[in-house]
Amino acid sequence: MTDCIFCKIAKKEIPAEVAFENDDLIAFNDRNPLAPVHILIIPKRHIASINDFGMADVELVGQMILVGKNIAEDLSISEKGYKLLFRVGEWGGQEVPHIHLHLIGGARLYEDIYPL
Ligand code: 5GP
Ligand code: ZN
């Protein structure tokens, strides 16, 4: 999608700090981190939101979760724990209409200072 910020990040037209990449997915640091670790995992192919998620995307979205888990392990935050979060649509607080999985961790996320 030409006007999509995250499609542009996937195509390297907008810079981002990349944590992981393969043919299907790219993971990069959130520009406005809510916790010490805040990474967004996105498919390179444009899917607007979980509302548009269908059977054809099951493997791709499964891969996103696996990549989140692997990055958490690499960053040594697995044992203490972290959050994997999809915001969906306006009331879910989704601002960027290209599906993304937030990996958020490195702190106790159930304290009031992390209203996620
Ligand atoms: P949402 O609210 O849609 O679930 O999350 C969108 C996230 O994308 C926000 O946490 C926001 O900080 C991040 N974000 C938006 N635009 C950019 C960008 O151009 N670069 C990076 N690295 N993060 C972005
Ligand atoms: Zn897009």
Q: pLDDT tens-digit profile of 56-107?
A: 999 999 999 999 999 999 999 999 999 999 999 999 999 999 999 999 999 9
Q: What is the pTM of this model?
A: 0.96
Q: What is the mean pLDDT of residues 24-48?
A: 97
Ligand 1 pocket test target in 95, 99, 100 with most atoms within 8 Å of CB: 95
Which residues, 6 or more positions from 93, have their beta carbon under 8 angstroms from its beta carbon?
Answer: 87
Quick check: 73 and 90 in contact, CB under 8 A?
Answer: no
43 CA distance to ligand 1 centroid (A)?
14
Catalytic residue positions?
A: 100
Residue 1: HSE in the Cβ half-sphere, 13 Å Cα cutoff = 15
d(CA 69, CA 90): 27
Q: Is residue 98 helix, strand or coil?
A: coil
Q: Is residue 83 helix, strand or coil?
A: strand
Question: Which residue's C-alpha comes closest to atom 12 of ligand 1?
Answer: 32
- pLDDT confidence tier of residue 48, bands split at 50, 70 and 90: very high
CATH number of 31-80+88-116: 3.30.428.10
Residues with CB under 6 A from ligand 1: 5, 14, 16, 28-32, 40, 87, 93-96
Burial of 34 (0-12, 13-18, 19+ CB in 10 A): middle
